Amino acid sequence: MKRSSVLPGALPAIAVLCHAVLPLAATAGPVQGNEVEARVGAMIDNMSLAQKFGFIRVNDGHMLPVLPSQGLPGTVAYDSSMGVHVGLGTFGAQFPSQSALAATWSINRAQQFGLALGYETRQAGAQQMLSPGLNMFRTPFNGRNAEYVSGEDPFLGAVLGPAITNAIQAQGIQAAAKHYVANDQEANRHLLDVTVDERTLREIYLPGFESTVKNANPASVMCAFNKINGDYGCESHHLITEVLKGEWGFRGFVMSDFNSIHHPQKAAWAGADLDMPSGLAFTDQTMYDLVYSNQVPMNVLDDKVRRNLRAMVSYGFDKTLPVPTPLDTTYGDAASLAVAREGIVLLQNDSGKGGSMPLLPLATNARVAVIGDLAQQSPASPFGTAWAPANRYVTELSGLRQLNVDPANVTFIPALSLNPAQAIWYQPGSTAAALAPGLKAEYFTNTTLAGSPATTRVEPGVALDFMAGSNVTAAGTSTLAGIATGAGAFSARFTGTIRPTVTGAHVFKVRADGAYKLWVNGELVIDFDGVPVAGDVVNALAKSGKTAQLKAGSLYSVKLEYRRVSGAYFPVLGGINGIQMSWASLSAPGNLASYDAVVVAVGKNAEHEGEGIDVAYELPEFQSELVASVAKVNANTIVVVHGGGPSEMKSWSKKTAAVLQAWYPGQFGGQALAEILYGTVNPSGKLPVTIGGTAADYPTTAGYGAIADYQPSGTFADASTNQARKKMAYAEGVFMGYRGFDKTGVKPLYPFGFGLSYTTFGYSGLALSGTDLNAGSTIDATFTLTNRGTQAGYEVAQLYVRPAAATVARPKQELKGFAKVFLRAGESKTVTIPVDARSLSFYDVATGSWQVPAGKYTVHVGSSSVDLPLKTTLSVKTALRLSTGASNPLPAPVREAVQVAADRAY
């Protein structure tokens, strides 16, 4: 499909308010009942032992295995939280990250996303989508925060998780809730042992999974790589058999994360049902030995087979598989844009220069300077299985230009933007009077730059792609035939000259699948030894270095030496086989002051974060220094921050006029951002996480330690050779996220639930439908929400509860309800948010139940965790005990809201 940078004219602003619901070939979700069980039972009765062994493992590209004797064709699963990831590309839409979806706080958007994702999965010819991601934003370092819809609050995940799952499965596609459980960091993930107490598991890390199981009946749950309290996620009998299948009544199958079973007997006994994708653990010989020695009883084996068969039969996959169809972009495009519009969070909107009014929204004739390569590239996604390159998209630069009355009013500033394809180089020996473009490149057939180079020539730049065999830059293109191949071991030296256009410090960035050193004017700026910083999916992370002061117009020498020993790095999933180098100024030119506003796009992409490695909280590439420099020249600086989660902003945020958290905004993120900046869409995103001033502010950081401590120095999955740190204690307990900030008294930079609008909302008249809560009852908190401004918009009203006198250590407040409400200017609406006994409870380890002590409970309502103007009191006269099986994380009205009728399927 041709890539595009044109605003989708068929997607007007009203798409933010509605779904595309025109029915196509409607497909019902799973069917349950006696007929399914009878068919499954008959199949098991006619299966040999060998066939049973073959049906709990897969190694041929299927998910559920092929079983010819029963006419079962097997199933295909696709991955990615941001789209249907097929092969090396994306089949249909690139959606915003699930962290952006969490920022919408919208059941409607979650369902729209799930319906589109399931529809495109079916169109692409698969039967299962490995989504949603339900792990928690426990630490700002987590490389996979982009993939998780829970944010830092279990109730938020308990609402959005089943909404997505029901929508996917309404399309006749199996969903897989992942990663069960405590896979809340990528640090040495295959060997990390997470120590977490039972109460914390139940209150913080399990509710998203519990709610999805109880309110959406997912076809499968994927167990995690890491250990939990000494047992691998796929080998925890307590978590899988006792809790998931026992207490919660889960009837689907438990699949391993990719090759994550270490001990076949433990995993089989624990309740893992499918060893995928290579079938390394549940081999025929291993299972024969375990069954005949009764280490795995026959009824345990039959239960696995039954669950896997049930997944086939309940979706009708025993009769026929959906036929792939040509891509229909209607629904994916609408969902992607709608989530982006509601997921971008406006964090700050000050006056800047020239008056007391907030800078945003901008006038559509404003002269705007744009800085940052993220603004001109196709929308980013993280490295790893979440990587989803966009097929058609609107860049942030093109979005701003197309919504401005004159595209010429929007100017991109390349001198302050790192891009290896656009960096300007001159050959060594160039003079101010005679500038010869390009760099001298010397290629050696050894890995030590020894002897004479095998090839010496001029390269237009350093953007070498060994897989494509080319070096494509704005200054020209060269081929690499006979020089570098995908598996080759060699070395190279690039020498050249730069001529800065701005006086000040400059930043250089190198990304390569090997070791390198970079000198600028004789100063060593970057030195990387080439040792991978992850063990399994190995990303070639970008490295940056800063120079001393350089003078505009002067010439400076550059030397890059590169050694490629082996092809250890992933060339796909957002990785590279190659080497790239770019440079830019960190000092803003004085002429930026003449613009009405400056938009600086900063943050992370696949070069900096993703699967397999945790990342620093600080912005990469000295971007904080760049922002401060720009803001010093032009006070009307608008910063747009990208990434799976937030990054450090405290060092520069108050120097700027406006700040927006854009996450990974998807293929039409550029349109959504432009609509918000120019005011045609009123921002409504709210933070699903707390943004701390520094990483140390987070309650989890002290126990985490240093990221480098977890980087494997030996075989990543072999405990005998892996010398990295393998223990992590969730010592903060239930005081994670805003709960921890409330406990310590540390003031966050931006609090949980926070997000600005171009209008203002008023809260009044909070009343309860009853004052005494009994077991099994629901009490409605009703209040009036008023749009007191001049522009229509959404408000997310949030309800928090707190006990007046806690019998155990409990958070100051906990989110237990929310409602996203659309109001026109001047309009008021009555809003109702339900609470029940589970809303007030804590998990009691001694009794293995949810306890609601008798006493008073305060109900607070407002716009964020720190802005709660309404409060009232609820009483529990007699202590209540709720079972883990019968209780539900969601009050009954919310359970109904997350359901998706089959007639909404496309």
User: How confident is the model over 167-184, as a mean pLDDT?
Assistant: 98
For residue 379, give the amino acid letter: P
Half-sphere exposure of 479 (CA within 13 A, CB side): 2
Q: Find the distance separating the first CA and the last CA of the chain, reported in whole Å.
A: 22
Residues above pLDDT 90, as percent of the chain: 89
692-719: per-residue pLDDT in tens?
999 999 999 999 999 989 876 545 566 6
Residues near 477 by beta carbon (within 8 Å), at least 6 away in sequence:
460, 470, 471
Could you please report the per-residue DSSP string of 450-513? -SS-SEEEEESSSEEETTTTEEEETTEEEE-TTT--TT--EEEEEEEEE--SS-B-EEEEEEES
292-333: per-residue pLDDT in tens?
999 999 999 999 999 999 999 999 999 999 889 999 999 999
Residues near 896 by beta carbon (within 8 Å), at least 6 away in sequence:
none
Please provide residue 10's backbone torsions phi and psi, each rounded to the nearest 5 degrees.
-80, 5
Could you please report the per-residue DSSP string of 164-176? HHHHHHHTT-EEE
User: How confident is the model over 393-414, as a mean pLDDT?
Assistant: 98
Q: How confident is the model at residue 153 (pLDDT cuts 50, 70, 90)?
A: very high
Q: How confident is the model at residue 12 (pLDDT cuts 50, 70, 90)?
A: very low
Q: Are strands 220-223 and 174-180 parallel, antiparallel or unpaired?
A: parallel
Nearest CA among 493, 411, 509, 396 for reference residue 452 = 493
DSSP state of 254: E
Q: How confident is the model at residue 21 (pLDDT cuts 50, 70, 90)?
A: very low
Contact 651, 629 (CB under 8 A): no
Could you please report the per-residue DSSP string of 672-725? HHHHHHHTSS------SS-B-SSGGGSTTHHHH--GGGGS-SS-TT-TTT--S-
Give the separation between CA 73 and CA 320, rounded to whole angstroms: 8
DSSP state of 612: T
Task: Please give the domain boundaries of the chain with CATH numbers for all domains.
Answer: 31-320 (3.20.20.300), 439-585 (2.60.120.260), 761-904 (2.60.40.10)
522-569: per-residue pLDDT in tens?
999 999 999 888 778 899 999 999 999 999 999 999 999 999 987 789
Give the separation between CA 556 and CA 544, rounded to whole angstroms: 18
27-57: per-residue pLDDT in tens?
456 777 889 999 999 999 999 999 999 999 9
Give the separation between CA 528 and CA 491, rounded to whole angstroms: 14
Region of poorest pLDDT, from 70-84, 264-278, 480-494: 480-494
pLDDT at 106 over 80: yes
The pLDDT value recorded for residue 854 is 97
The pLDDT value recorded for residue 532 is 84
Give the separation between CA 652 and CA 702, rounded to whole angstroms: 24
Indicate the angle between helix axes 284-292 and 298-314, nearest 10 degrees.
Answer: 130
Q: Quick check: helix, strand or coil at residue 874?
A: strand
Residues near 685 by beta carbon (within 8 Å), at least 6 away in sequence:
100, 103, 104, 105, 342, 343, 344, 345, 346, 661, 755
Contact 906, 171 (CB under 8 A): yes
Q: How confident is the model at residue 724 (pLDDT cuts 50, 70, 90)?
A: confident
Query: Which residues on neighbouring strands pair with residue 148, listed in sequence order?
Result: 133
Q: Quick check: helix, strand or coil at residue 212?
A: helix
The pLDDT value recorded for residue 711 is 79
- Burial of 147-163, coded b for 16+ CB within 10 Å and e otherwise, reads bbbbbbbbbbbbbbbbb
Give the separation between CA 174 and CA 166, rounded to whole angstroms: 10
Give the separation between CA 859 and CA 875, rounded to whole angstroms: 10
pLDDT at 25 over 50: no
Give the separation between CA 613 and CA 352, rounded to whole angstroms: 38
Q: Which tokens belong to 535?
A: 């063990």
For residue 481, give the amino acid letter: A
Nearest CA among 306, 298, 230 for reference residue 269 = 298
Task: Tell how many helices (H) and how many strands (E) occur in the chain.
Answer: 19, 39
884-897: per-residue pLDDT in tens?
999 999 999 999 99
The pLDDT value recorded for residue 24 is 33
- Centre a 10 Å sphere on the Cβ of residue 536 and count the other Cβ atoms it contains: 17
Nearest CA among 119, 126, 113, 117 for reference residue 78 = 126
The pLDDT value recorded for residue 716 is 59
Which pTM does this prediction carry?
A: 0.96
Task: Look up tokens 């972009």; give the residue.
Answer: 329
- Centre a 10 Å sphere on the Cβ of residue 367 and count the other Cβ atoms it contains: 17
The pLDDT value recorded for residue 484 is 58
463-481: per-residue pLDDT in tens?
999 989 999 999 999 998 7
pLDDT at 13 over 70: no
Rg (CA), the chain: 28
Region of poorest pLDDT, from 30-44, 235-249, 262-276, 781-795: 30-44
Residue 765 is inside which H or E element, if any? strand 761-768
The pLDDT value recorded for residue 533 is 82
Give the separation between CA 622 and CA 604, rounded to whole angstroms: 12
> What sign has the CA pseudo-torsion 296, 298, 300, 303?
positive
Give the separation between CA 885 and CA 608, rounded to whole angstroms: 42
Could you please report the per-residue DSSP string of 773-811? --TT-EEEEEEEEEE-SSS-EEEEEEEEEEESS-SS---
Contact 331, 906 (CB under 8 A): yes
Q: Which tokens belong to 388?
A: 């989803």
Nearest CA among 204, 145, 32, 146 for reference residue 842 = 204
The pLDDT value recorded for residue 713 is 56
Residue 633 is inside which H or E element, if any? helix 623-633
The pLDDT value recorded for residue 33 is 84
Could you please report the per-residue DSSP string of 291-315? HHTTSS-HHHHHHHHHHHHHHHHHT
The pLDDT value recorded for residue 482 is 75
